[in-house]
Amino acid sequence: MTQPYPLLFQPEFKERVWGGRALEQFGLQLPEGHIGEGWMIADHPNGTTNVMNGELAGKGLDEIREQFGREWFGAKGFSEVNGRFPLLIKLLDCNDNLSVQVHPTDDYEGLPEGELGKTEMWYVLDAKPDAKIIYGLKDGVTRADLRQALENDSVMELLREVPVKAGDTFYIPAGTVHALCAGVVVAEIQQNSDTTYRIYDYNRPGLDGKPRELHIEDSLNVTAYEGSGATTMSTEGAVPGEWLELARSPYFIVEKGIVSGPWELSTSTDSFTILVVCDGEGVISWDGGSQPFASGQCFLLPANLGSYKLEGSSTVLRSYLP
């Protein structure tokens, strides 16, 4: 019988017109090209990650989900829509500006069959001086305003720009118009969805030299003009050995923790736990083994792992289902 243990996955890397090579700073072996996304924990038709460590090495997250079920993934650990793992964990390298985009809610009629909506959050791992993001519409912008601005190529005038630095956190519910901009590296915790509606893409060609598709009607339909509930916070108040809540949604809770010496923790039978190592290094140990960890690594802890301990000097994000 396979005993539960922290699972480390081989990332699925995605080339993007806005990507670069910054994920190499985490010791990741990138393929050639403009790598914009590392899907670190994924169970999606567009990318499924395979385990790298331990007895289950080589198995996909989908296989493990089917084999071990709720015992490992928790009472809440499955999407009610498609039965898949409910979250998707990414590292993003924004060497250039991403398209201005918006994501749908679960109940949007235009969603592809079996696909979820997309609520997400960002934790800024690295940011160049003067880095910024686009985060919502300016106050009072209506659907008619947005359509007119798209028609006369003035949409940037309606968007709210926010300066960012490492450690900043942004909660992005479905319906929030947003874009990461050049010079930031982020960890993204999101619903397990790959549905993005592009509003504007700076009139640039894609990797194939052709203009990238825009999704104007879908974008206008799903944008939350009265506000989506987007929130941001600085995480400078985090103290060692205590969790600081960064984001709470119907889909995930994300907390920041500072590891400084031994920290005794435990999983819950309701949900798996995901640990994203933002910086530093250390060791995670549990009944039956131990595993070193380093910045950029993302671990999936089964719900039935029980007690575990973090040691070392690092910053981690902890995500689980509400």
93 closest CA partner among 5, 143, 177, 34? 34
* Number of C-beta neighbours around residue 106 at 10 A: 18
Q: Which residues contact 1 (CB under 8 A, 6 or more apart)?
A: none
d(CA 98, CA 120) in angstroms, rounded, equals 16
d(CA 130, CA 128) in angstroms, rounded, equals 6
Catalytic machinery residues: 198
Place of tokens 């090495």: 57
Contact between 44 and 84 (Cβ < 8 Å): yes
Contact between 75 and 148 (Cβ < 8 Å): no
Place of tokens 């956190």: 169
169 closest CA partner among 310, 85, 11, 278? 278
Length of the chain measured in residues: 322
Contact between 37 and 194 (Cβ < 8 Å): no
Burial of 72 (0-12, 13-18, 19+ CB in 10 A): buried
Q: Find residue 187's DSSP bridge partners.
A: 91, 123
Contact between 85 and 78 (Cβ < 8 Å): yes
Contact between 87 and 9 (Cβ < 8 Å): no
